[in-house]
Every structure is written in C-alpha cells, then in structure tokens.
C-alpha cells in the first residue's frame, strides 16, 4: 500500500489497483468488466470463461484484509448488458456473497448501457464529502475519482520496456486503473487522456510485486 494525499484526505492504493479511504471504511475499484471472456463467444471466439471468477476472488481477497464497509464500483462492472445472465452459478454465488457482505455502490459505465439487473441500482455519480465518484472523468474543476480509461504506463529499465497498470493522480483528479482480469490498457501518453491530466501529475505504477511512484518529469524523460 502507498499513501496519497487527495483533497486533504489520506487515501491508500494497493498494488492490485484498489483504492482505500480507510477513514470512511470505503474501498474504490473500477472496470471489473465481468464476463468479458464469455462475451466473445457470440462472435465465434471462444475465450475462456474464467475471468469473472478470477476477478471476484481477487477482489474479495483484498477487501478482506481491511476494514471496509462500503465499496464504490466506478462503472463497467459488467462487460455488457447481458453479462449478469451469462454468469455461471459459481460466479453468481461469489457475486452475491460480495453484495451481501458490503454496501456496494454501482456507478453506471459506458459498457452498461441499457443494463437491467434485479436489485441493483446504477448511479450516474456518487458524492462523498465533496468528492465526486464517476465512471468517466469530466473537464470540470471538481474533486473527482474516475475509471474508464484503463491507464497503463511504460517504464524503461535498462533498455527494456515494462508496461503495467497505473493510477494517475493530478491535482483534484484521480483516474483508477482497471481491475478486471481480462482488461487491456491505454497508455497515459495517449492524446485521449491528455485533457484530463494537468501539467503536473504523479502516477502509481502497479506491478506484481510492488508500487512505484513516478512524477510526470520522470515519465517524460523516458521519451
């Protein structure tokens, strides 16, 4: 875990990409993309169906380690509107376990257009203490924590490039990496991301073993 100061609150990020606001017993996580694997079957690509199980087990395992009461899911929890229906009974059991144990806030993601699941309410945004929880960042001067972009960064280590998920922290913006097992990434240098990152920012680079913090200067010197 590494601590970051956001709007005078101490938040913690773990290497798997879950953000904790321990003072409030809140965990924040983004882009689970449940049932992404099985979504390809309709196009004749039989990607293995085990990603949801992996994602949920990993999440439950991490949450278990801390005192958490509420979990905010920043959208694209489900890969598509039928994802819930495709879950195997084992996965559904895990999912129910998760929603029973925690107060789960679902933010609506762009993948969840027209989604309807009994007993689940999707929010456009959710606000705690003047911090806005959104799926996609907006160009407004509000304190916001969002997901959507699946940010990754490439760091050069002795002529080898290591690419990994990262959290972007820029002033009053945090963009969380995707958590889902089968999710890809968008490089932080991609022009699409630029409008949402101010001139000075830090990234928290998440690897299998640890978390590394880099400033934008350190990132830019790489290119």
Residues in touch with another protein (CB under 8 A): 37-38, 41-51, 53-54, 86, 88, 159-161, 181-182, 184, 223
Pick 5 or 223: Cβ nearer another protein: 223
Least Å from the CB of residue 38 to another protein: 6
Pick 55 or 144: Cβ nearer another protein: 55
Pick 37 or 109: Cβ nearer another protein: 37
Least Å from the CB of residue 161 to another protein: 5
* φ, ψ dihedrals at 137, nearest 5°: -60, 150
Least Å from the CB of residue 183 to another protein: 9
Pick 64 or 89: Cβ nearer another protein: 89
Least Å from the CB of residue 44 to another protein: 5
């Amino acid at each position: 875990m590494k601590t970051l100061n956001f709007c005078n609150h101490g938040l913690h990020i773990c290497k798997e990409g879950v953000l904790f606001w321990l003072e409030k017993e809140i965990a924040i996580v983004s882009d689970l993309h449940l049932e992404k694997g099985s979504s390809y079957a309709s196009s004749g690509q039989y990607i293995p169906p085990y990603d949801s199980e992996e994602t949920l087990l990993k999440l439950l395992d991490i949450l278990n380690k801390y005192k958490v009461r509420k979990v905010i899911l920043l959208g694209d929890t489900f890969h598509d509107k039928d994802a819930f229906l495709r879950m195997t009974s084992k996965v559904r059991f895990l999912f129910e376990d998760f929603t029973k144990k925690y107060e789960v806030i679902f933010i609506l993601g762009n993948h969840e257009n027209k989604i309807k699941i009994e007993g689940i309410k999707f929010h456009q945004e959710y606000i705690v203490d003047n911090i806005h929880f959104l799926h996609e960042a907006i160009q407004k001067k509000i304190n916001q924590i969002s997901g959507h972009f699946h940010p990754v960064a490439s760091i050069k280590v002795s002529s080898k490039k290591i690419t990994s998920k990262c959290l972007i922290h820029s002033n009053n913006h945090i963009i969380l990496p995707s958590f889902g097992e089968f999710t890809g990434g968008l490089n932080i240098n991609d022009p699409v991301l630029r409008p949402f990152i101010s001139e000075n920012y830090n990234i928290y680079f998440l690897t299998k073993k640890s978390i590394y913090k880099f400033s934008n200067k350190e990132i830019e010197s790489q290119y």
